[in-house]
Structure 1
Amino acid sequence: MPPEYALQVTGSLPSPPKLPKLVTNRRLRWTSIPPRPQRRHDPYRTALRDAAQEFEAAFLAEMLKSAGLGKTSGSFGGGAGEDQFADFLVREQAREMVRSGGIGLAESIYTALKERGDETR
């Protein structure tokens, strides 16, 4: 083998990660993995995530309107409330997009505000 293709291995390989011990009940013959510790519920972070997702939904609704999705073409049968209900439809479609993963704006805003809030707490 030519020397430029030769690999040199130095040092040792890292040890494998430690797995949780299994709890076994020999009498009933069942095995379970210990449950993960529960995170405590933080209402501040929940409200922060909800606000970030609502902001992303509002942003996406404006993008959809700019793309012409909110324009009425008589699809609701006309009438005085058609524009208003078309707007509701666009906003709900934007919220559904956020629930399905969105464009990542809510997560970026949440992370930035969370770090900022952690500094001031």
Structure 2
Amino acid sequence: MIASATSSQAAAAIPTRNGRPDTQLAEALAKVSPQTQAKMKTQATDFEAMFLNSMFSQMTSSVKGEGPFGDTVGTGVWRSMLTDQYSKSFAKAGGVGVSADVFRQLILQQASRAS
């Protein structure tokens, strides 16, 4: 009974990529400290927020006229702050998947440096 619980916990600990076990990432995570992993996770999320901010800024760049900000001198400032907060919220909630791939690459690079 205990052996089956341990084996299922071990299987759950292996990260997946495209629905398949990512043994390369699992091996790299074993070589990288938890503090570095947390730092890389934060950096990957920040990168995705920056990417989303760029996308949201492009989406709202042509919005003029009526709406929550109207068409005033301060519209650009308020809209940029709004898109910045939207992008941070989206990235923190899981984003569009960019941060997962960035995190993977950062961890693989850190693990190769540690070897």
TM-score (normalised: structure 1): 0.58
Alignment pair present for 1:90 and 2:83? yes
Structure 1 70/85 Cα, relative in aligned 2: closer, same or farther at 3 Å?
farther
Whose relative contact order is higher, 1 or 2, with alpha carbons under 8 Å and at least 6 apart?
2
For 1:18, the aligned partner's letter is: S
**Structure 2 unaligned runs (5+)?**
7-32
Which is helix-richer, 1 or 2?
2
Secondary structure of the residue aligned to 1:18 is helix
CA contact (8 A) 1:57 1:94 kept: yes
* Residue 51 of structure 2 corresponds to residue 59 of structure 1: yes
Structure 1 unmatched ranges of 5 or more: 1-16, 21-40
Q: Is 2:4 aligned against 1:18?
A: yes
Contact 2:64–2:70 at 8 Å: present in 1 too? Answer: no
Q: What amino acid does structure 1 have at the position aligned with 2:84?
A: R
Partner amino acid for 2:4?
A: K
Aligned-partner residue type, residue 93 of structure 1:
Y
Q: Which portions of structure 1, spanning 4 or more consecutive aligned residues, are displaced by more than 2 angstroms? A: 68-82
RMSD: 2.4
Greater C-alpha Rg: 1
Give aligned-pair identity as a percent.
18
Relative to the length of structure 2, the TM-score reads: 0.61
